[in-house]
Structure 1
C-alpha cells in the first residue's frame, strides 16, 4: 500500500530536514514525502535548497509552495490533493522524529481492516508520553491527551486505548483512502488548531473506528513552530487565540447542543489557566479567541494579516 507522508512547513526547513533524516530509516519503504510550504516564496526556495529530492531509500521528496498561508488544515489538504492516487496519507508534524518502525506499525494496524485511521505513541525527548490519543469532552469543549506523563516503557493496553479515544492527535495521524472518501478533507476554516479533532469526530459520527498502534512511536518536540510550548507567560498570541476559538467551533460543528455548557465552561477554564499565574497578556489572547469563537469567526484571523 503506497503512503504519502504529508508535512506542513512554515519557514522551518532545517527542522523538516531532521524529520526527513528519521523517515529515511523507516522499515516501511513504500512511501513518498510531500511538503507544503505555507511561509511564502522565499521560504519555499530555502526549503527546496535544504531538502533532498529523494531519501536514501529512493523515496521521492516533493516540495510545494502554497499560494498563500493555508494554515495547517489547508496545508494537509494541499498535500493530499497533490497525491490523489495514494492509498493512505500519513500526516506528521515537522517537529517530529518518527522511530524506524513507526509507519510499519501504523500500516499493520490499518491492514486489519476494522479501522481506517490510526495514531501513534507520541512522546517527548525526555521519554514521557505526550499522548496515546485524545478524548474530546464536548460539554466542556475540552481535549484530554490519554496517557500523558506516563513513561514510554510502561505497558499499554491498546484495546482499552481504542475504546476510550475519539480523536487522534495531528502530530502523527494516518488515514486511508476510505477515510478520505467517506469523511472528506479537513475543514480549512479552522486554519490552525483543533482541525484534527473535528476531522476525527466527524469520522466517529459516521461510524468509523479509530485505531491505535502501540509499536508506532514518534518523538514530538511539541509547539516548536508556533511557540505553544513556551513558558506560559511567554506564549504568543496565535496558538492561544486559535486554540480557544476553535474549541468552540468543534462543539458547534459536531455537537451544537453542548454549546450551552461549553461556552461558559471554556471561559471559566481559560481564567483558571492564566489568571492564577499572572499571565495577564495571555489571558487577553485567550479571552479574545474565546469571544471570536462565540461570534463564529473562522479562517485566518484578521489581525494576522
Structure 2
C-alpha cells in the first residue's frame, strides 16, 4: 500500500485551562503541522487573537471549567464535523515529537486497512521525575501488569492516558464520547475500558515516546516518587474511583487493583504533603460523593 493512500486526515485537540504564553506557543507550533482545535476551559471568555493564538486554530471558549471530558468531546466533535479521520489529544503542556504526529495515525491507518478494530493508539511516556519511561499496563488480579515499551510492534494494553493518544474517529460513535460526569480523572481509563468491552483494541506504540509529566510535583516516600496534586484533584480522584468501582461495566481485575491502592493513596496524599487537613477533607468528600453517585463539577457545600 502506498503511504499516500493510507494517510488519514488528522487533527489535534488541545485543552486549555488558564494557559500561559508557553502553552499558546505550543499550540501555535502544533497548528503548523495539522488542523488544531483548542478548547479553552478558562473561567473568563476571551478571543483567540487576545491569547495570541494563530488564525489557523479553531478556538472554542467555554468561559468556565466544564471538565476535561466535555472539552475533549467538544474538540473531537469539531473534527468529526470537518470530516477528519483521526483526533490526537493533548494537554496544554504536552510537547509531542514530530514522529508522534505521523507514526500514531499510521498505526491506526494500517489497522483500518487490515480490518482491525483499533480504537486508540498512544505513545510511551517519559517522565524524568518518575523513574523515566513509564511501562504500558494491563489489568490483573490485585495488581497491574507492567509491560516494558520495547519492540517494533504495537502492544495491546488496557488503557492509555489521554494526552498524546490518537483516537480512531471511525469508531467514535460506536464507543461513545468521554463520560462528562467524571469531569476529570479516570476519564481516559473509563473510555478505554468501554472501547475494549465493545470489542475494540487499545494499542501502545513503544517506538514513539513523548515527554509528559504524569501528575503534579512528586513526593518521595520510602525512596519511591509519587505524583502529587492539590486537594481538589484528590477529591476527583477518590470520588471517581469509588463511582467507577460501583459500575458493573468496569472489570473486576481493575477493581481489585484499586482496592489495594486506595489505602496507600490515602496515606501518601493526605499525610505527606502540606495542607494535610485540606487533603484529608477533600479525599473524604470525594469518597462520600462517589458512594452517593454525586458526579460532575465539584460544588462547595
TM-score bin, normalised by smaller chain: 0.7 to 0.9
Match of residue 15, structure 2, among 3, 8, 14: 8
Following superposition, the deviation at residue 264 of structure 1 comes to 5.7
Q: Given the alignment of the two structures, is residue 241 of structure 1 paired with residue 244 of structure 2, yes or no? A: no
Following superposition, the deviation at residue 217 of structure 1 comes to 2.3
Task: Flag structure 2 segments of 5+ consecutive residues without an equivalent.
Answer: 1-7, 220-225
Counterparts of 1:83 and 1:125 in 2: how far apart (Å)? 33
Within a 5 Å distance, the mapping from 1:58-207 to structure 2 comes to: 60-66=56-62, 68-84=64-80, 85-113=83-111, 114=116, 115-124=118-127, 129-136=132-139, 147=148, 156-157=150-151, 159=153, 162-163=155-156, 165-207=157-199
Counterparts of 1:255 and 1:127 in 2: how far apart (Å)? 27
Relative distance call for 1:278 and 1:168 in structure 2 (3 A) is closer
Is residue 175–residue 194 contact of structure 2 (8 Å, CA) maintained in 1? yes
Counterparts of 1:103 and 1:193 in 2: how far apart (Å)? 25
Match of residue 250, structure 1, among 220, 226, 244: 244
Relative distance call for 1:271 and 1:52 in structure 2 (3 A) is closer
Q: Given the alignment of the two structures, is residue 286 of structure 1 paired with residue 283 of structure 2, yes or no? A: yes
Q: Given the alignment of the two structures, is residue 229 of structure 1 paired with residue 217 of structure 2, yes or no? A: yes
Deviations 1:133-164 (CA, angstroms, capped at 9, x unpaired): 44346x66x878755xxxxxxx71365x724x
CA root-mean-square deviation? 3.2
Counterparts of 1:76 and 1:260 in 2: how far apart (Å)? 26
Counterparts of 2:130 and 2:97 in 1: how far apart (Å)? 13
Following superposition, the deviation at residue 288 of structure 1 comes to 2.4
Moved over 6 A (4+): 142-145, 256-260
Relative distance call for 1:127 and 1:195 in structure 2 (3 A) is closer
Counterparts of 1:124 and 1:263 in 2: how far apart (Å)? 23
* TM score, norm. by length of structure 1: 0.78
Deviations 1:140-189 (CA, angstroms, capped at 9, x unpaired): 6x878755xxxxxxx71365x724x2011111111112220210110000
Counterparts of 1:129 and 1:3 in 2: how far apart (Å)? 29
- What SS does the aligned partner of 1:203 have? helix
Is residue 69–residue 179 contact of structure 2 (8 Å, CA) maintained in 1? yes
Relative distance call for 1:129 and 1:178 in structure 2 (3 A) is farther
Counterparts of 1:12 and 1:96 in 2: how far apart (Å)? 12
Match of residue 41, structure 2, among 13, 38, 43: 38
Counterparts of 2:227 and 2:214 in 1: how far apart (Å)? 17
Counterparts of 1:272 and 1:157 in 2: how far apart (Å)? 37
* TM score, norm. by length of structure 2: 0.79
Counterparts of 2:242 and 2:96 in 1: how far apart (Å)? 31
Question: Mean Cα displacement is larger for which, 249-258 or 205-214?
Answer: 249-258
Task: Flag structure 1 segments of 5+ consecutive residues without an equivalent.
Answer: 55-59, 148-154
Residue 296 of structure 1: aligned partner: 293
Relative distance call for 1:4 and 1:234 in structure 2 (3 A) is closer
Relative distance call for 1:283 and 1:209 in structure 2 (3 A) is same
Is residue 106–residue 213 contact of structure 1 (8 Å, CA) maintained in 2? yes
